[in-house]
Amino acid sequence: MPAVTATAPGKSILFGEHAVVYGRPAIAVPVSQVKAEVVVAPPASPRGGKIHLSAPQIALSADLEDLPADDPLAAAVAGTLRELSVPAPPPMDIRISSTIPIAGGLGSGAAVSVALIRALSAYLEVPLADEAVSAIAFEVEKIHHGTPSGIDNTVITYRKPVFYIRGQPIEAVRLKSGFTLIIGDTGIASPTSLAVGDVRAGWSRDPAFFEARFDEIGRLTREALRQMEAGRVERLGPLMDQNHSLLQEIGVSSPELDRLCLAARVAGSWGAKLSGAGRGGNMIAITPAGGAQAVASALENAGAARVLITRVGAAQEAPRDP
């Protein structure tokens, strides 16, 4: 069998993180400047019929049978082989790499899963529908963080902007015009499970306080969808600012995220918010197209470890670098 390669993009949540775990809508877009890549190839040396996984970035080199069942990579392989009905898979080398920062709110875990599932299915020449790819990746997300909403595996599998409500069919966002998004990385790794767990603990103590904020986040997210579909992208800025304030209130921002959001606003963006689980990881800012560089420099000066400028395209608009 010839070697095959599959990739999957990162993602950014524009509106609705955390509230989406509690049934409210969220909007997310793929981020193609960063990606996970998986190569599946015949074994370079005979390994006695084994499946070998290597991921140099996390210093992993192991046979599948030696990994615990709850290892996310092992679970992705096992879930795919089950779905493909391949009880006796051939020996193979699976090589995993990624330019998506780990635990940074850009969906690195889901992207690795999706690329791995797609590479395996291509290598074994058994096609898998997107729905199945996303479902396997969702099972792996549960290992990463217990009660995932499913938004990461969905947007990364389908590679288009989505309006997502847990348990409901996916709705593509009919963007009327594209916009420029600046992503600023605090450089602080923040495991999603911790932030999600703290929100859960707060919600258990004071459900009324949290439910009211989730309702408001849901309202902002629906309003953002309306503005995107009407092409009024500058109106997303104030909605992002409000969403950020609500995320501060439920305790998932941090001084670093607040500082970067403020720097982006001062440098001319329409609005800014943390994106993903919070505490560390990334923030996003939406800017007029000509203003992206100024905002990117301001974020670097305010301490961002890394800045990405990405273009979120309308359906008829090919994605391009700003």
Provide the annotated active-site residues. Answer: 152
As measured in angstroms, the least distance from the Cβ of 220 to ligand PMV is: 14
Query: Cα(229)–Cα(233) distance, rounded to whole angstroms?
Result: 9
Long-range contacts of 166-174 (CB under 8 A, 24+ apart): 166/20, 166/21, 166/23, 167/23, 173/27, 173/225, 173/228, 173/229, 174/228, 174/229, 174/315
Q: Please report whether residue 17 would count as binding ligand PMV according to CB under 6 A.
A: yes
- 162 contacts ligand PMV (rule: CB under 6 A): no
> What token pair was written down for 156?
């990364």
Q: How far apart are CA 262 and CA 186, in angstroms?
A: 13
CA distances from 36 to 13, 99, 112 (A): 18, 6, 5
Encoded amino acid at 1, one letter: M
Residue 143 engages ligand PMV in binding (rule: CB under 6 A): no
Residue with Cβ nearer ligand PMV (108 or 121):
108
Residues recorded for the chain = 322
Determine if 151 is a binding residue for ligand PMV (CB under 6 A).
Answer: yes
Angle between helix 236-249 and helix 207-230 axes, rounded to 10 deg:
170
Q: Which is nearer to ligand PMV, 21 or 182 (CB)?
A: 21
At residue 304, the 3 state secondary structure works out as: coil
* CB-nearer residue toward ligand PMV: 18 or 95: 18
Q: Half-sphere exposure of 160 toward its Cβ, with a 13 Å CA cutoff?
A: 14
Interaction of residue 192 with ligand PMV, rule CB under 6 A: yes
Residue 79 is a binding residue for ligand PMV (CB under 6 A): no
Interacting stretch for ligand PMV, rule CB under 6 A, among 17-25, 37-45, 52-60, 75-83?
Answer: 17-25
The nearest distance, CB 167 to ligand PMV, in angstroms, is 13
Cα separation, 276 vs 294, in Å, equals 24
Phi, psi of 104, deg, nearest 5: -115, 10
In the stretch 87-116, what mask flags binding to ligand PMV with x, by CB under 6 A? ------------------x-x---------
Does the protein bind ligand PMV through residue 196 (CB under 6 A)?
A: yes
Partners of 36 in the beta sheet?
Answer: 8, 98
Instruction: State the nearest-atom distance from the C-beta of 14 to ligand PMV, in Å.
Output: 12
The rounded distance, in Å, linking the Cα atoms of 181 and 309 is 6
Question: For residues 230-289, which are near ligand PMV according to CB under 6 A?
Answer: 276-277, 281
Cα dihedral 101, 104, 106, 110, rounded to 10, equals 80
Task: Provide the minimum distance between the beta carbon of 238 and ligand PMV in the complex, in angstroms, as a whole number.
Answer: 21
**CB of 151: closest distance to ligand PMV in angstroms?**
5
Choice between 227 and 275, CB closer to ligand PMV: 275
In this complex, which beta carbon is closest to ligand PMV, that of residue 20 or of residue 38?
20
Question: Any contact of residue 72 with ligand PMV (CB under 6 A)?
Answer: no
- Do 30 and 10 touch, CB atoms closer than 8 A? yes
Nearer to ligand PMV, 152 or 256 (CB): 152
Write down the least CB distance from residue 28 to ligand PMV, Å. Answer: 9
Q: Locate 191 and state its tokens.
A: 């495991």
Interface residue list for ligand PMV (CB under 6 A): 13, 17-18, 20-21, 105, 107, 148-149, 151-152, 192, 196, 276-277, 281
